[in-house]
Chain A
Amino acid sequence: MNRGFSNALFLKAVVVASLCLVSFCASAQEKSSGQEKKAQFSTPGYTHREPSKPLPDGGPTPRLADGHPDFSGVWFKGLLGKEDATLVGSFGVLDPNQREFDPKVTPEEKPSFQPWAAAKLKEQQANLVADTRDPSSFDKLPREQRLAALDLEILKLSRNCMPHGVPGIVLNADRPFQFVSTPGLFVQLDEHNHDYRVVMIDARAHSKEPDPKFNGESVAHWDGDTLVIDTVAIDERVWNGEQWQFHSDQEHVIERITRPSLNYLIYQVTIEDPKVLTKPWTSAPRRYSLGHEDLLEWYCGINGHDDEELQALKQQRDRLQAQK
């Protein structure tokens, strides 16, 4: 329990902390602490810190009885083999060694959306910036925009327990995950939302017409020391990312996982979606490092407070709708 948070309460704390970060008082506070010179990073709690040190490679890749790489272990984003509690919820202001990739070394293109999809995303982003919690600015917005912003906020909140699906279960895993490999089987356990998926590596082919599932239908094979997971039939409610909030029933995801050494895991994903993208998108190779602590328990949907917040927003929307 080094990371020391326990389940739902922690979630609440992070939410409160992040709200505080975006609020006026917090931004004022940040400015004043930012005036202290020689800060390594612009994040609270990061002044006067020693630069972090990436893990060594740790020796050769462990292998299973069948000779294939064994991915078993608890994996953290970046190169440190752990998470830094002071940084949780700080909106991507990360120690560079906690990033999954360095865009200067391995740049990652943005997904190339079809015009209709790009327009839809742009609209969503515009609504996202409207702060429903700040009446002084929110009430000045045109009614239609306020409604759209409330709808989006409601959607986001009511999605708290929505599974991340594939590839979100990796790309959007804000917290560490655990892999368990046995010959013929690959299991991913996520701390975030206490989610899991199981993939069989047994050369089975895709079904002719698989039912949609959050984690889709996955088949897997080894390409040398790389595990290749091929997934179709992904439930359309899944978001690939905060900036990529929809995909079609035609989405096809190909994930490639390797473990070049004991301490490191590399994950790369390609997404094809002919109804939404103009061309396939391939991620940068993302780096994860081996930790030595157990996953925490982080269950979703057991905290009544979230529900109350949701109800309050719905009432706000209904009142607005009733106004002429």
Chain B
Amino acid sequence: MKTRLTNPLVIGAFVSAFVFMLSPCAIAQQAKEQGSAPPYAASGKAASKALPDGGPAPRLPDGHPDFSGIWFVGALGKEDALLVQSAATAGDPALKPFDPKVTPEERPSFQPWAAEKVKQLGRGPARGELSKMTKAQQLTAVNTEIGRLERECVPHGVPGITLTGAMHGMELVETPGVFVQLTELNHDYRVVSIDGRAHSKDPDPKFNGESVAHWEGDTMVIDTIGLDDRTWNDAGAWIHSDQQHVVERFSRPSRNYLIYQVTVEDPKVLTKPWVSAPHKYSLSVSSEPLNEWYCGINPDGDEEVRALKETKKRLEEDISKELSH
């Protein structure tokens, strides 16, 4: 438990931070803080070192690569507590899933209606932005945040379980014919049988959909349909339809590295299929298990939502008062 943070407390802390951001005193304070450098640059750390390849990929008795192990985003084989939450967007390049200069990744190409909705549901304002907003804009931001908080326990689904769910590490367990993915975030899991079965004719929607899998040489290909349309494909509110079709490709080029690439087809939401860059994961350098991070067990979470709803009510009253003047 040296490096990482413990379960629901973390969520609580982020939520409180957001609520704090919204309070009037915090807005004043933020205005002062704006000039300071991001935490990574300020930490004065030496550049991190990517793991060596570590030798050949281990194999199962049936000859296929064995993906079993605990995996972290990037090339360090661990997560850096200083960088949690910022790794995906800033900070150490060795903690990124790919280098956009080497393997650029296009943004999903949304149909116009979907682009509008994604924007609406997407990330709230950046730190400090709120103080510059009108009350009506603040209200929109609060609504967005309520929506996001209420989704905290909604499963990430496929491919979200990897694209979002693996942000604090994932454990893969493989036996001949069975692939299990466990994530620290939300204590989620999925099980995929690699047994040559075909898709059902009309599968019931599930958060993790209906997956079938096969081997293409040393690459495991998971093909998923029947996805519950409540899931988001990424943390940026990438909504999808019941027509979504996901093809994931896992390979382990060497002992210490895992490569994950995903293609998403969704004729109702996208204008063309989206193909990710090859995302890199590295084998944990420690023998520590994943932390326990259960969702939905912390009544404080609910209270934060209620607090935000009160802020919302206040803003609405202010706005209607202003209008009546």
Q: A27-71 interface mask toward B, CB cutoff 8 Å, 1 = contact, 0 = none?
A: 000000000000000000000000000000000000001000000
Give Cα A178 to B193, complex, Å. 13
Whether B297 lies near A163 (C-beta < 8 A) is yes
Q: A181-222 interface mask toward B, CB cutoff 8 Å, 1 = contact, 0 = none?
A: 110010101000011101010001000000101110000000
B57 → A minimal CB distance (Å): 16
Whether A180 lies near B173 (C-beta < 8 A) is yes
- Interface bracket on A: 35 or more
Q: Which residue of B lies closest to A161 (CB)?
A: B296
A294 interface hit (Cβ, 8 Å): yes
B152 → A minimal CB distance (Å): 8
In chain B, residues 133-148, which have Cβ atoms closer than 8 Å to a Cβ of chain A? Answer: none
B296 touches which of A180, A187, A301 (Cβ 8 Å): A301
A21 interface hit (Cβ, 8 Å): no
B157 → A minimal CB distance (Å): 10
Whether B153 lies near A182 (C-beta < 8 A) is no
Q: Is the interface of B mostly helix, strand, loop or mixed?
A: loop
In chain B, residues 287-307, which have Cβ atoms closer than 8 Å to a Cβ of chain A? Answer: 287, 289-290, 292, 294-297, 299, 302
B279 interface hit (Cβ, 8 Å): no
Do A200 and B302 form a contact, CB below 8 Å, given A161-B153, A180-B173, A189-B191? no
Whether B155 lies near A299 (C-beta < 8 A) is yes
Report the stretch among B76-84, B202-210, B255-263 that lies at the interface: B202-210
A118 interface hit (Cβ, 8 Å): no
B196 interface hit (Cβ, 8 Å): no
B153 touches which of A65, A189, A299 (Cβ 8 Å): A299
Do A194 and B189 form a contact, CB below 8 Å, given A180-B178, A180-B180, A187-B173? yes
Contacts of A294 in B (CB 8 A): 191, 193
Whether A200 lies near B289 (C-beta < 8 A) is yes
B175 interface hit (Cβ, 8 Å): yes
A161 touches which of B61, B204, B297 (Cβ 8 Å): B297
Give Cα A29 to B205, complex, Å. 35
B171 interface hit (Cβ, 8 Å): yes
Give Cα A214 to B289, complex, Å. 14
Contacts of B6 in A (CB 8 A): 211
In chain B, residues 142-191, which have Cβ atoms closer than 8 Å to a Cβ of chain A? Answer: 150, 153-155, 171, 173-175, 178, 180, 182, 187-189, 191
Contacts of B203 in A (CB 8 A): 1
A34 → B minimal CB distance (Å): 35
Whether A297 lies near B208 (C-beta < 8 A) is yes
Contacts of A300 in B (CB 8 A): 153, 296
A313 interface hit (Cβ, 8 Å): no
Give Cα A213 to B291, complex, Å. 9
A295 → B minimal CB distance (Å): 7
- Interface bracket on B: 35 or more
In chain B, residues 53-73, which have Cβ atoms closer than 8 Å to a Cβ of chain A? Answer: 61, 68
Contacts of B289 in A (CB 8 A): 198, 200
B1 interface hit (Cβ, 8 Å): yes
In chain B, residues 269-301, which have Cβ atoms closer than 8 Å to a Cβ of chain A? Answer: 287, 289-290, 292, 294-297, 299
Whether B191 lies near A295 (C-beta < 8 A) is yes
Whether B292 lies near A161 (C-beta < 8 A) is no
Q: A161-179 interface mask toward B, CB cutoff 8 Å, 1 = contact, 0 = none?
A: 1110000000000000010
Whether A161 lies near B294 (C-beta < 8 A) is yes
Give Cα A1 to B252, complex, Å. 32
Give Cα A178 to B173, complex, Å. 13
Give Cα A18 to B67, complex, Å. 43
Give Cα A211 to B292, complex, Å. 11
B189 touches which of A181, A189, A215, A302 (Cβ 8 Å): A189
Whether B207 lies near A299 (C-beta < 8 A) is yes
B293 → A minimal CB distance (Å): 10
A7 interface hit (Cβ, 8 Å): yes
B68 touches which of A72, A182, A214 (Cβ 8 Å): A182
Do A302 and B175 form a contact, CB below 8 Å, given A163-B294, A214-B294? no
Contacts of A181 in B (CB 8 A): 175
Whether B153 lies near A187 (C-beta < 8 A) is no
Contacts of B1 in A (CB 8 A): 211
B182 touches which of A65, A72, A196, A304 (Cβ 8 Å): A196
List 9 additional A-B contacts (Cβ < 8 Å) besides A198-B171, A198-B290, A300-B153.
Answer: A6-B204, A163-B297, A181-B175, A194-B187, A195-B187, A196-B187, A294-B193, A299-B153, A299-B155
A-B contact list, 29 entries, CB within 8 Å: A1-B200, A1-B204, A6-B206, A65-B61, A72-B175, A72-B178, A161-B294, A161-B296, A161-B297, A163-B294, A178-B191, A180-B175, A185-B173, A187-B180, A189-B180, A189-B189, A189-B191, A194-B155, A194-B188, A196-B189, A198-B173, A200-B287, A211-B6, A214-B292, A294-B193, A299-B207, A301-B295, A301-B297, A307-B302
Q: Which 3 residue pairs spanning A and B have beta carbons closest together? A: A301-B296, A161-B296, A301-B153
